Amino acid sequence: MRTTVGIIGAGPAGLLLARLLHNAGIDSVVLESRDRTYVEQRQRAGILEQGTVDVLRAAGAGERMDREGLRHDGIELRYDRTRHRVDFPTLTGGRSVTVYAQTEVCKDLIALQLKEGHPLLFEAEALAVEGADTDRPRVRFRQEGREDVLECDYVVGCDGFWGVARKAIPAELVRVFERTYPYAWLGILADVPPSHEELVYARHDRGFALLSMRSPSVSRLYLQVPEGTDPEEWSDDAIWDELERRFETDDDWRLARGPITQKSVTPMRSYVHEPMRHGRLFLAGDAAHIVPPTGAKGLNLAVGDVVTFARALTHERETGSAELLDGYSATCLRRVWQAERFSYDMTTLLHRAPDAAPFEDRLQLARLARIASSRAAGTDLAEAYTGFPFG
């Protein structure tokens, strides 16, 4: 099998890249180890930055997002039983975010790919990337019990942290930067309308809590819990009781309860792999970087990566210049490190470390009060949350 761009992974990054390349007249093949049902039901991110929304629209994948997605013009910070709203459009010149689940993004892109695009092979497990430093890289993969080879001009690894793409970069060329956090998120999906029209980020002495949503009838909520927590240790009533404690305010706001349909625990870590390119192999998304979910950056960073690659390859085809392809890693990493910085700031601002002293508690409250009282501080948060420019 032969193609111009071999894409490993049919998450939102790989699927969007295939769409962008299709629109630019460049052929590709997407290899996905899981079946279609799994990909379309895999619960992950739900906040789309302004730039991500714009890219999906321009790619022809925004019709259902515009119809069913929830535009949010701000977030609410809660601390010390008080509430402060950060108004995005006022502070950023009109930018916002959209609540639209990753599962829905994948459904839209899969439908387009199968209808209009190039091959999308489910249950095709990539085994190795070979010849990354040559002009004919290859992806060995297995489908229906048989091994095959996909020959490419370029390979883009959108196969996540545990994928094979990153392993093809020689260890002596790699630098890894990472941090693990001593807490995790216990997340739930609940069949109950959201108790607030926008996301609520709560800092509490008992730990962080987040009120989010997937739709007007489905709430997504999170609690800070110790690292390694088993979600089954928490009963439904205990989860709702703890959420109420951490969201408590001095006004009459109340948290609505409903049936919990899903529980899971998400570890918290920061990770960056440098470089993001080796020869004709390019890494995108979680294959190259991971952020704690506090800043809602993971999916959006992956979108930035594939937009950068698609632009660079299109530029090479139109001008003959490989300048943008050669600069792929440096271009992406500038945005990645800003997102890492913001996600770290949000995480340490809102979570209480197990060994936190009263001094750290007071610093968190002072930082939150600064955001609430300073337009400059509020603008810095709003600009980062709604998204750093692509490229």
Active-site option among 12, 137, 292, 293: 293
Residue 379: partners with Cβ closer than 8 Å, 6 or more residues away? 91, 92
Rounded Cα distance, 308 and 314, in Å:
10
Active-site option among 154, 181, 328, 385: 385
Instruction: Give mean pLDDT in consecutive 10-residue pieces for the chain, a chain of 391 residues.
Output: 97 97 97 94 85 97 96 97 97 97 95 90 97 97 96 97 96 97 96 97 97 93 96 97 97 96 95 98 98 94 98 97 98 97 97 96 97 98 94 66
Decide: 2 and 151 in contact? Cβ < 8 Å.
yes
Rounded Cα distance, 312 and 30, in Å:
19
b/e for 77-101, b at 16 or more Cβ within 10 A? Answer: bbbeeebeebebeebbeebbbbbbb
Residue 334: partners with Cβ closer than 8 Å, 6 or more residues away? none
Rounded Cα distance, 84 and 203, in Å:
12
Of 162, 194, 163, 232, whose CA–CA distance to 76 is shortest? 194
Active-site option among 201, 204, 328, 351: 201
- Domains of the chain plus CATH, in order, are 5-49+101-177+269-346 (3.50.50.60)
**Catalytic (active site) residue 167:** no
**Catalytic (active site) residue 22:** no
Of 378, 391, 389, 256, whose CA–CA distance to 330 is shortest? 391
Coil, strand or helix: which one is 388?
A: coil
| DSSP code of residue 317 | H
The DSSP result for 247-280, as a single string, is H--SSS--PPP--EEEEEEEEEEEEEEE-SEETT
For 17, other C-beta atoms within 10 Å of its C-beta total: 29
**Catalytic (active site) residue 84:** no
* Torsions phi, psi for 283 (to 5 deg): -100, 145
**Catalytic (active site) residue 196:** no
| DSSP code of residue 186 | E
Coil, strand or helix: which one is 322?
A: coil
Which pLDDT does position 143 carry in this prediction? 96
Q: Which residue has the tokens 């950068």?
A: 308
Residue 69: partners with Cβ closer than 8 Å, 6 or more residues away? 48, 53, 98, 99, 100
Query: Which amino acid is it at 337?
Result: W
Which pLDDT does position 85 carry in this prediction? 98
Of 152, 121, 163, 155, whose CA–CA distance to 30 is shortest? 121
Of 6, 13, 18, whose CA–CA distance to 115 is shortest? 18
| DSSP code of residue 257 | P
Active-site option among 72, 118, 196, 351: 72
Active-site option among 22, 297, 328, 351: 297
Decide: 33 and 10 in contact? Cβ < 8 Å.
no
Residue 241, H or E segment: helix 236-247
Q: What tokens were used for 302?
A: 């992956």
**Catalytic (active site) residue 72:** yes
The DSSP result for 20-53, as a single string, is HHHHTT--EEEE-SS-HHHHHH-----EE-HHHH
